[in-house]
Amino acid sequence: MPLLPATRTPDPADAPVLRWGVLGPGEIAGDFVAALQRHTRQRVVAVGSRSAERAAAFAATYAVPNVHVGYEALVADPEVDVVYIATPHSEHTANALLAIAAGKHVLIEKPVAVTADLAGTIFAAAEAAGVFAMEAMWTRFLPQTDVVAQLLEDGALGRLSLATADFAGGPAPRDPSSRLLDPAQGGGALLDLGVYVAWWSQFTLGTPDAVTARGALGPTGVDEQATLLLEAGEAQGIGVVGLRGRTAWRASVVGAAGRVEVDSPYWAASGLTLFGADGAVADRWEDPYGRPFRQGLCYEGAATARAIVEGRTGCPEHPAERAIAVLETLDAARHELGYADPPGWTA
């Protein structure tokens, strides 16, 4: 069988420069800004928070020149081209619509919304306004993912039969008011981590025809553990997520002519192995770029900048339709487990 192709992922430092505003200065926002500053030429020019103290501390840590108290002030800043939304996902819809109404492009942390209907509302508003909107599915933009994408495009693995992915991050805090356990904040393993496993199945096999979910709800009513079976034609995707113990963080896709196994953590820069139909190792690829873990967030930032400068309202690698389809899968899985939508989760 053919050897692994070279990645087509451009150097993030080559992307055209835009001015970014950060809405919600939490941990993921800090890692995103650090990745942009280390590996790209993007400029982070403003941060907005409801807390003056948090905004000021973030600005001091990452040398962000403009501080705004309140999200309205951030999205009104004429120096900001694109807003990175990093608030809890229960707030994404309101925050994204605020930025879009102000004429700003948006990159929205995953999941882009808590339901597929709300995700559709965001993307429809962006399309009507003529601005860019994308879910920040950073794994899709990693160099290793492009290697897999080429194998799939070329049919190098033959007829596909199975995709697997697991992402249980370890025991969650037992505070029922924590983001991970509070249903009003979109708690649960599926909304926190399930986007990764559902996306992997759809990236490799396509949108599922049927979704089966098994798992366990905790005392607060959110899923603390879930296993998904996603049927796409004759192929099956299996995804495992949880808040009770850490899994291996690996992914694979299997076809009649061979299989690919992505190293742990598959959702960040790592490596992959290509096996032939006989199970023997055919080739090996390891990420050579030195952007481990969340440093890989730089790739989605660079892709966003390229798309905006080119006048596009999304990226073909992760279009709105894929983000919505992943949330449709998570909606179905949550409901099958008995996790009902809290009040307000309607478009």
Q: List, in sequence order, the alpha helices (H) in 102-181.
A: 116-129, 143-154
What pLDDT is attached to residue 179?
87
What pLDDT is attached to residue 344?
78
Within a domain: 300: no
195 and 125 belong to one structural domain:
no
What pLDDT is attached to residue 347?
63
203 and 87 belong to one structural domain:
no
What pLDDT is attached to residue 236?
98
CATH code, domain carrying 100:
3.40.50.720
68 and 107 belong to one structural domain:
yes
Which one of 138, 160, 185 terminates a domain? 138
54 and 192 belong to one structural domain:
no
Which one of 68, 105, 110, 318 is the catalytic residue? 110
Segments forming the whole domain that contains residue 64: 12-138
Peptide bond before residue 16 is cis, with ω within 30 degrees of 0:
no
In 3D, which of 93, 65, 237 has the Cα closest to residue 161?
Answer: 237
What pLDDT is attached to residue 42?
98
What pLDDT is attached to residue 342?
84
What pLDDT is attached to residue 1?
53
Which one of 138, 166, 189 terminates a domain? 138
Q: Return d(Cα 7, Cα 136) in angstroms, integer.
A: 20
102 and 191 belong to one structural domain:
no
Which residue positions in the chain have pLDDT lower than 50? Answer: none
Whether pTM > 0.85 for this model: the answer is yes
Which one of 138, 162, 197 terminates a domain? 138
The letter for the amino acid at 175 is D
CB atoms within 10 A of CB 121: 17
Within a domain: 261: yes
Q: Is 110 in the active site?
A: yes
Under 8 Å between Cβ of 85 and 97: no
What pLDDT is attached to residue 139?
98
What pLDDT is attached to residue 340?
86
